[in-house]
């Protein structure tokens, strides 16, 4: 059980997909201007990323690997992620219309989030069990939510700060992301996931 906790913490903090792998920077820069927006996108991504990674794990181990078709992973995984997003969208629309309306545009945008594809491909490269993959994908998803929420809080404060003209907009956002990446790199070497 402790190794599963290490996998979770490793994916959440030590090997955070946004700050160490630099995956998912587009939603980080685009959807992190407000806390409620960042939280909505983060939770939707958490759900989709975890479900997509489990789906791709099963397809990879049940179909691609036995057929020797590992070279098709990226192509197949993109299709599976799109299918998971579409199925999630339809299920939410049918069973939770309020949540569907609250997430609105975010669900279809998750299809193009490179962090989702990155986590599924990172999981496929590891020689891990289904349970270990679940903990890794959930930890990576939580790490994505954590960075999105922290970054949105910082950006809300930056909006009211007196930022010099050359650093306004995306520049200060990238500088802030770089500083956060440096802070998170302090955890490097503590846990390998």
Q: How confident is the model at residue 32, as a pLDDT?
A: 65
Residue-level pLDDT, tens digit, the chain, 193 residues: 788 998 998 888 888 898 888 888 777 777 667 787 788 788 888 988 999 999 999 999 999 999 999 999 999 999 999 999 888 888 888 887 887 787 777 777 787 788 999 999 999 998 899 999 999 999 999 999 999 898 888 888 888 888 888 888 778 888 888 888 888 877 776 655 4
Q: Report CA-CA distances (Å) from 23 to 90, 145, 151, 161.
A: 27, 13, 15, 28
User: What is the value of pTM for the model shown?
Assistant: 0.84
Q: Are 32 and 148 in contact (CB under 8 A)?
A: yes
Closest CA to 131 of 38, 44, 58, 35: 58
Q: How confident is the model at residue 189, as a pLDDT?
A: 65
Q: How confident is the model at residue 72, as a pLDDT?
A: 94
């Amino acid at each position: 059980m402790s190794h599963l906790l290490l996998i979770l913490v490793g994916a959440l903090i030590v090997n955070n997909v946004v700050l160490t792998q630099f995956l998912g920077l587009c939603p980080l820069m685009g959807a992190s201007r407000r806390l409620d927006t960042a939280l909505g996108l983060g939770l939707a991504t958490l759900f989709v990323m975890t479900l997509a990674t489990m789906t791709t794990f099963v397809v990879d181990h049940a179909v691609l690997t036995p057929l020797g078709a590992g070279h098709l992973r990226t192509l197949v995984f993109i299709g599976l992620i799109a299918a998971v997003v579409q199925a999630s969208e339809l299920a939410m629309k049918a069973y939770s219309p309020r949540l569907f309306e609250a997430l609105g545009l975010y669900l279809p945008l998750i299809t193009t989030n490179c962090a989702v594809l990155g986590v599924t491909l990172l999981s496929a490269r590891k020689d891990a069990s289904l349970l270990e993959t679940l903990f890794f994908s959930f930890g990576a998803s939580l790490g994505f939510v954590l960075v999105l929420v922290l970054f949105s809080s910082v950006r809300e404060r930056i909006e009211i700060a007196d930022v010099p003209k050359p650093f306004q907009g995306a520049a200060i956002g990238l500088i802030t992301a770089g500083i956060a990446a440096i802070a998170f790199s302090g955890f490097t070497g503590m846990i390998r996931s």
